[in-house]
Amino acid sequence: MHCLLTALGSYGDVHPMIGLGVALARRRYRVEVVSNPHFEPLIRGAGLGFLAVSSAEAYDTLTQRRDLWKPLSGMRVVFQYGVIDLLQELYEVVASAYRPGETVIAAHGLDLASRVAAESLGAPVASIVYAPMALWSDRSPPRMPFGFTRPAWLARQQFRLVERMLRSHPVQRALDSLRERVGLGPLRQRYFDWYYGVAPPVCLFPEWFAADPGDWPARTTLTGFPLWDGANAPHLPAEVEAFLAAGDPPLAFTPGSANRVAERFFSAAVGACQRLGRRGVLLTKYPEQLPAQLPDTVRWVGFQPLSQVLPRCDAFVHHGGIGSCAQGLAAGIVQLIQPLGFDQFDNAERLRRLGVGDELKPARFTASRVADKLRRLLDDPQAASRAQEIALSIDSEQALTRACEALIALHASR
């Protein structure tokens, strides 16, 4: 079996696909990952085949846009750069790599090209779903970056509005243009009926994080958190290890792997550590957004694997990406979320319901408020106990096994 995985987006999108690819390769299947060349060393370093789409320069340009990190403008940017601009090129890469009878495709959420290939080529395709917000439910509406979850009738209307907007959006025109070029007619179905109808969902989160309310798409499979984050080295760098070992467990802060405009986030993080009298570690690939001077008790450590850093910390403050949420849950520590857009608001709400997290919106993300929220979380014995309980229930190997089995079954059904 040939497994073709499309991994668009940032490290939080690419890591789970690499984890899935490694698990499939261990089962002796041939694996290729389609991604931006920015991630080529990481993908090849994991022993997987690599196919390029877009350019490293395009990724760098995208991550420097401040409007990427706002709820409405962020979606427009993602649709343009992550869907429309890639659609034709991605289809050509997928179609060229596809081998009838051999290939099964695991498609990223922004990958409409593989879903078109499901129709034009008869390819078996699964929708890889990272976070619950991607699966709409009238019975249990996810929390959108804007809008309402209650009352239910209003929540339903906002989702219908999103579908209507997509019909008139350039995404729809680009999709229909591709469909015409490959011999398909314009899309007549409701958008999400088509999206999951041609590619059943394989969800990389567990049932206790989000259970099927009864109106998710047919053939939805829940697997669990894969947790792969490239932690191949047996040890952290010596200077990072020395800092972690030199005192009480610190507080960990990251605005996300792709965020290069988080000056206010890091300023508040340092101030919160000072107010609490706590040590802190700042995780980012882009140190230019850090304060010019850091106190001795706060250290920039680059962007180390969260799976190695977080178990050494007492709390995790971040943007609410699903990968970061999962790593925080696996580490058994409380979390404070500053949601910026996309699925992050819904993820933050789910952490709050689990009793292990809280949130501060960007406009309220100041040193004093961060310190107050963290103090409450750290002083709450029930939150600490619940976090440890959840950590014990997470089995990333089982999650990857289930995801592999779902792809194998999909391939066998064709």
Q: Could you tell me what percent of the chain has a pLDDT over 70?
A: 95
336 and 403 within one domain? no
Q: Is residue 65 part of a domain?
A: yes
The pLDDT tens digits of the residues spanning 264-289 come to 999 999 999 999 999 999 999 999 99
Please give the tally of structural domains in the chain: 2
178 and 167 within one domain? yes
Q: Is residue 233 part of a domain?
A: no
Q: Is residue 232 part of a domain?
A: no
Of 246, 393, 377, nearest in space to 316 by CA: 377
The yes-or-no verdict on residue 224 having pLDDT over 70 is: yes
Q: Which CATH number goes with the domain that contains 299?
A: 3.40.50.2000
Cα–Cα dist 82/77, whole Å: 8
The yes-or-no verdict on residue 150 having pLDDT over 70 is: no
Q: Which of 6-15, 67-76, 200-209, 381-390 has the lowest mean pLDDT?
A: 67-76
Q: Is residue 267 part of a domain?
A: yes
Cα–Cα dist 28/13, whole Å: 24
- Enumerate the H helices of 103-169 as residue ranges: 112-120, 152-168
218 and 97 within one domain? yes
407 and 291 within one domain? no
Quote the domain boundaries for residue 247: 238-393
User: What angle is formed at CA 407 by the lines to CA 406 and CA 409, rounded to 5 degrees?
Assistant: 65
Q: Is residue 271 part of a domain?
A: yes
Instruction: Please count the other Cβ atoms lying within 10 Å of the Cβ belonging to residue 286.
Output: 16
Helix/strand/coil for 31:
strand
Q: What are phi and psi of 271, to 5 degrees?
A: -60, -40
246 and 187 within one domain? no
316 and 290 within one domain? yes
Residue keyed to tokens 């991607």: 134
330 and 214 within one domain? no
288 and 200 within one domain? no
Of 27, 28, 2, 40, nearest in space to 18 by CA: 40
408 and 321 within one domain? no
pTM of this structure: 0.94
The pLDDT tens digits of the residues spanning 354-409 come to 999 999 999 999 999 999 999 999 999 999 999 999 999 999 999 999 999 999 99
294 and 212 within one domain? no
